Amino acid sequence: DIQMTQSPSSLSASIGDRVTITCQASQDISNYLNWYQKKPGKAPKLLIYDASNLERRVPSRFSGSGSGTHFTFIISSLQPEDIATYYCQQYDDLQVLTFGGGTKVEIK
Amino acid sequence: EVQLVESGGTVVQPGGSLRLSCAASGFIFRSHWMHWVRQAPGKGLVWVSRINSDVSSATYADSVKGRFTISRDNVKNTVYLEMNSLRADDTAVYFCVRDRARGLFDYWGQGTLVTVSS
């Protein structure tokens, strides 16, 4: 199975800060990577698909990049409503889909 | 509007069985793969199972293989998860998820809580 390693596991930042989260795949997954936002008690929300494509109606402060084994997710200017846990997910291996461990984003 | 509504979550004893249902509406159900994803209390998201659109193929996470069975009814627009030999570590919120395109989870239900406890 493909392992997805996210870092950091948590971070604290101020409103307006640039936030960067990384996701490393255990093998080459091309650009078959998505990013999701999860708030407590809510369903997860797709933010970025195919590593760098912004989902419809998602604010442009969210972005993604990378290919192969190394991926980056950025919030360019953190807003109060961005407090959540973020997950990467690979879909190169359609037999076993895997998520990263998550990054919890908090306000400093 | 796409809607996915899970049901069937409850408290069950270790070793017991349960069937979850997910009623879908607002899209052409028979055209989409469907998945179940779970989140244990205080833990991350974990993919559980997938069924393709014409019911010809299903896959499972190793942790549930041989115990869980996914199925779907393309007339009733419903996907199911039959869970047997339940263990304490199966305790989680189970989400029903629509697949837009081969592993891209674009719509999620609100989830149903399964608690395995004596």
* Predicted local confidence at residue A94, as pLDDT: 86
- For residue B75, the one-letter residue type is V
Whole-Å CA distances, B42 to A44, B19, B61:
15, 24, 20
CB B105 within 8 A of CB B98: yes
Count of CB contacts below 8 A, A vs B? 60
CA distances from B13 to A11, B10, B39, B81, B90 (A): 38, 10, 19, 17, 11
What residue ranges in B18-111 does DSSP mark as E strands? 18-25, 34-39, 45-51, 58-60, 68-73, 78-83, 92-99, 105-108
**What pLDDT does residue B54 have?**
85
**pLDDT tens-digit readout, B51-103:** 999 877 999 999 999 999 999 999 999 999 999 999 999 999 999 999 998 88
Name residues of chain A where pLDDT drops below 50: none
pLDDT at residue B102, as a whole number: 83
pLDDT of the residue at A53: 97
Between CA A64 and CA A51 the distance in angstroms is 6
CA dist A108 and A105 (Å) reads 10
> What pLDDT was estimated at residue B55?
79
Report yes or no: A25 and A66 within 8 Å, Cβ to Cβ: no
Which of B37, B45, B50 would best serve as a mutation to test chain A binding (most A beta carbons within 10 A)? B45
pLDDT at B2 (0 to 100): 96
Q: What's the pLDDT score for residue A10?
A: 97
State the nearest Cα–Cα gap between B13 and chain A, in angstroms. Answer: 24
> B118: distance to nearest CA of chain A, Å?
25
Per CB-CB distance under 8 Å, the chain B contacts of A95 are 59
* A100–chain B Cβ distance below 8 A for any pair: yes
C-beta neighbour count of A81 within 10 angstroms? 9
Q: How many CB atoms lie within 10 A of CB A27?
A: 12
Looking at residue B87, its pLDDT comes to 98
A31 touches chain B (CB under 8 A): no
Min distance A17 CA to chain B CA atoms (Å): 25
Residue of B nearest to A104 (CA): B44
Contact B44 A85 (CB under 8 A): yes
CB contact under 8 Å between A102 and B62, yes or no, is: no
- pLDDT of res. A25: 97
pLDDT, residue B61, reads 96
Looking at residue A61, its pLDDT comes to 98
Most B CBs within 10 Å, among A54, A94, A95, to test the B interface? A94
